[in-house]
Amino acid sequence: MGFQGKGRGFNYLFCNDGRHGLGCKITAGYNYKDFETSCLTFFRELDLPSIINSGEQEQKRAELQQDIAASDGRIVRIEKKIKRADELLGGEEPIEILRDTYKNLQQELRVEQSTKEKLQRELASLATQTVDYREFQDIIRKLQSANGGEDVYRLRAQVASRLKSVADKIVLAPVGSAPTTKFKSWFVVGEKPGPAKHNPKIDFKNHPGMHLPWFAIFLRDVEETQIYGAPGTVVVSE
């Protein structure tokens, strides 16, 4: 992807391969200001924590909580064995025949405690991701309300950094879905956000939504692709 400035704020994103005749037939650009405004608004309003909580990370959180509970149970059992050994030996150093068993129990306890701490850190990191995303949304709001100057440059840099940690990739369709001739599924963007009806009956050759631009955002750790386009836009998937 390339960036071209034509002066007076007319900047465009374009396909490098298309511009240099390297296989892609799309030479038209995507107005950068329109893309930035739409993309930032999309992320500002997106309830990413809810999306994550309903997907893989919610399952991961439940699994970690179960693993921590199981680790707690193992720690309790090991501690009981160590306490019983101490009582039988009168609190003194274990005699030779029990020394190895005693040491093994202590080592097992340390390993299990370390395992539990690791699981707890993983669980805490899931909550941190949600907090980080809320902070990211606050930065977007500040950027969109900024009047210019150094603050805009600084905020843009922060947004770019956070965006890389949230999104895996972004696909742009500057001339819409019309150039695509082979695809497996499609849907039409509705007036309101919500689940779209897949593969509705439409006239692909004459539907005006085939020529409307759209972009898709592939979020990290989220299977569902997030699509942005004006109502009536036809989005296809190869």
Residue pLDDT, tens place only, 14-24: 777 666 676 67
143 in a domain, yes or no?
A: no
In this structure, what token pair is assigned to residue 208? 């005006």
Domain identity same for 63 and 128: yes
Cα radius of gyration rounded to whole Å, the chain: 28
- Cα(165)–Cα(158) distance, rounded to whole angstroms? 11
pTM here is 0.51
* Predicted confidence band of residue 176 (pLDDT cuts 50, 70, 90): confident
- Average pLDDT for 103-112: 87
Look at residue 160 and tell me if it is in a domain: no
Q: Which tokens in the block code for residue 45?
A: 């309003």
Asked whether residue 231 is assigned to any structural domain, the reply reads yes
Q: Average the pLDDT over 34-49 and give the result.
A: 71
Q: Are 170 and 200 found together in one domain?
A: yes
What is the rounded average pLDDT of the residues 100-122? 86
Q: State whether 188 and 222 are in the same domain.
A: yes
| Residue 29: strand, helix, or coil | coil
CA 39, 44, 47, 48 dihedral sign is positive
Which tokens is 225 given? 């692709």
- Neighbour count for residue 203 (Cβ, 10 Å): 7
Task: Tell whether 99 is covered by a domain.
Answer: yes
H helix runs in 89-216, sequence order: 96-145, 150-166
Tokens representing 41 are: 């608004």
Question: Within a domain: residue 149?
Answer: no
Which of 172, 176, 174, 173 is closest to 207 using CA atoms?
A: 176
Look at residues 222, 225, 224, 169 and name the one whose alpha carbon lies nearest to residue 56: 222
Q: Is residue 140 part of a domain?
A: no
Query: Residue 115 belongs to what domain range?
Result: 56-134
Question: Same structural domain for residues 41 and 70?
Answer: no
Question: Can you tell me the distance from the alpha carbon of 74 to that of 112, in angstroms, rounded to the nearest whole number?
Answer: 7
Tokens 């511009």 sit at which residue?
19
Asked if 122 and 175 sit in the same domain, the reply is no
Are 20 and 84 part of one and the same domain?
A: no
| The residue type at 46 | L
- Which of these three, 92, 111, 134, is where a domain ends? 134
* Token pair in block for residue 135: 């902070």
Q: How confident is the model at residue 132 (pLDDT cuts 50, 70, 90)?
A: low
Residue 162's nearest CA partner among 216, 220, 214, 224 is 220
- For residues 62 and 125, state if they share a domain: yes
Whether 31 maps to a domain, the answer reads yes
Beta bridge partners of 218: 169
Same domain, 178 and 230: yes
Are 174 and 215 in a shared domain?
A: yes
Cα angle 90, 95, 98 (rounded to 5 degrees) comes to 100
Residues 184 and 232 in one domain: yes
Rounded CA gap, 190 and 179, in Å?
22
**48-102 per-position pLDDT tens digit:** 555 545 555 667 777 888 888 898 898 898 888 888 877 776 655 556 666 777 7
Is residue 87 domain-shared with residue 127, that is, in the same domain? yes
- Please check whether residues 37 and 68 belong to one and the same domain: no
The SS3 call for residue 93 is: coil
Q: Please check whether residue 116 lies inside any domain of the structure.
A: yes
Domain count, the chain: 2
